[in-house]
Amino acid sequence: MTSGVTIGQAAAFVGVTVKTVRHYHQHGLVDEPQRDTSGYRRYGSEELLRLVQVRTLAAAGVPLAEIGLLLDADAGQFADALADVARQLTERIAELSARLDMLHRLAEGDRALLPERACAVLNRMPGLGFGPDYVAAQREALVLARVLVPEGFEGFLAQLEHQLDDPEYIELVKRGQEAESWEPDDPRIAELANAMADRYLANPALLGSPASQRAWNKAATQYRLINNHRGDQASVSARLTALTEARLRSAGVPIPRR
244 and 207 Cβ atoms separated by less than 8 Å: no
- Residue boundaries of the structural domains of the chain: 7-102, 114-251
| Fold assignment, 7-102 | Multidrug-efflux Transporter Regulator; Chain: A; Domain 2 (1.10.1660)
30 and 47 Cβ atoms separated by less than 8 Å: yes
**Sign of the alpha-carbon torsion through 227, 171, 205, 203:** positive
**Backbone φ and ψ of 113, nearest 5°:** -120, -10
Say if residue 252 is exposed, middle or buried (CB neighbours under 10 Å; 0-12, 13-18, 19+). exposed
* pLDDT of 233 over the 60 cut: no
- Residues in CB range of 213: below 8 A, 6 or more apart: 155, 207, 253, 254, 255
- Residues in CB range of 203: below 8 A, 6 or more apart: 162, 166, 169
In 3D space, the residue among 51, 19, 15 whose CA is nearest the CA of residue 33 turns out to be: 51
Spatial separation of the C-alpha atoms in residues 255 and 218, rounded to whole Å? 10
Give me the mean pLDDT over the 9-38 stretch: 91
- Residues in CB range of 128: below 8 A, 6 or more apart: 164, 170
Which residue type is seen at 10?
A
Query: Per mean pLDDT, which range of 93-97, 159-163, 166-170, 238-242 is the poorest?
Result: 93-97
In 3D space, the residue among 162, 120, 122, 164 whose CA is nearest the CA of residue 140 turns out to be: 122
For 39-166, where are the alpha helices, taking DSSP H only? 45-59, 64-71, 75-107, 116-127, 132-148, 153-164
| Per-residue pLDDT at 91 | 84
- Residues in CB range of 119: below 8 A, 6 or more apart: 110, 111
Tell me the per-residue pLDDT of 30-80, one tens digit each, with 9 for 90 and over.
999 988 888 888 999 889 988 998 998 888 888 888 888 888 878 788 788
Tell me the per-residue pLDDT of 73-95, one tens digit each, with 9 for 90 and over.
787 887 887 788 788 878 888 88
* pLDDT of 27 over the 70 cut: yes
